[in-house]
Amino acid sequence: MSTTIRVTVWNENRHERDPKHPAGKVYPNGIHGAIAEGLEVAGGFAVRTATLDEPEHGLSEDVLAETDVLLWWGHAAHEEVRDEVVARVHARVLDGMGLIVLHSGHFSKIFKRLMGTGCDLKWREGDDHERIWVVEPGHPIAAGLEECLEIGPEEMYGERFDIPAPEALVMVSWFSGGEVFRSGCCYTRGLGKIFYFRPGHETYPTYFQPVVRQVIANGVRWAAPHDGPRPTFGNAQPRER
């Protein structure tokens, strides 16, 4: 296993730069900055960031080739992500790169493409309180957590979440307004591992919370590629015994 995991934190980074939007005050260095900081504090990661308005959205072939795990936060500009970059990320996931999809990234092109479904859900901006229950405490993503993560005020996401049934469902959210949500969902696509993690609305300082940072660091470690076999495809002669 490689000792250092190479991480790229991708962020749309639009709300934070909009002077009329509260996100800039909550995340003065961008959501990507807060997430990257959390990983650096945790240690064991070589972290870089990339954002929508950089050339190629900051996700050139070279950057992806050097990325073990990609994190994805997007919200208002999913449609501006160019299809060839989505195809590139998709190919890299199938090739083994891990992918952590955060919060409103549920509606990103890359997540919908990997899931094959609509990925829609219920939502509400208001005064909900979120609490996350760990339902699979033996899973690596639950390492170091308590059995309940008291998130506090957050945007509500409610079921039905239109995703394929996760291979492992690690966490379920409770919202004070009356909804539940599958908040920590694991998948494999090709050689790549995918973890969807719910919290992180841009108006709340969620990505500064230690437990949220712990989940993200655990998710990155879980999604990091192993040196597994690269399958051969196509016309095949019988193997010699």
Which position among 3, 19, 84, 241 is part of the footprint of its own copies (CB under 8 A)?
Answer: 241
Under rule CB under 8 A, which residues in 18-37 are in contact with its own copies? none
Identity of the residue, 137 or 210, whose beta carbon is nearer to its own copies in the bound complex? 137
**Residue 173 in contact with its own copies, rule: CB under 8 A:** yes
Q: Write out the binding residues for its own copies, residues 74-103 only, by CB under 8 A.
A: 94, 96
Q: Which is nearer to its own copies, 21 or 124 (CB)?
A: 124
User: Rounded CA gap, 110 and 73, in Å?
Assistant: 11
- Interface pick for its own copies out of 24, 33, 152, 205 (rule CB under 8 A): 152
Minimum CB–partner distance for residue 55 and its own copies (Å):
27
Chain centroid to CA 160: 19
20 or 239, CB closer to its own copies? 239
**Environment class of 146 (CB within 10 Å of its CB; exposed 0-12, middle 13-18, buried 19+):** exposed
- Shortest approach of its own copies to residue 102 CB, angstroms? 19
- Of 50-58, 72-80, 110-118, 198-206, the window that binds its own copies (rule: CB under 8 A) is 110-118
Hey, which residues between 205 and 234 contact its own copies (CB under 8 A)? 225-234
**Among 25, 3, 27, CA closest to 13:** 27
CA angle 12, 15, 19 (to 5 degrees): 140
Q: What are phi and psi of 9, to 5 degrees?
A: -95, 110
Beta carbon of residue 139, minimum distance to its own copies (angstroms, whole number): 7
Q: In terms of DSSP bridges, do strands 148-153 and 168-175 run parallel, antiparallel, or are they unpaired?
A: unpaired
The answer to whether 91 and 65 have CB atoms below 8 angstroms apart is: no
Shortest CB 228 distance to its own copies, Å: 4
Smallest gap from residue 235 Cβ to its own copies (A): 6
Provide the residue type at 235 as one letter.
N
Report in angstroms how near the CB of residue 8 gets to its own copies at its nearest. 19
CA distance 144 to 124: 30
The letter for the amino acid at 170 is V
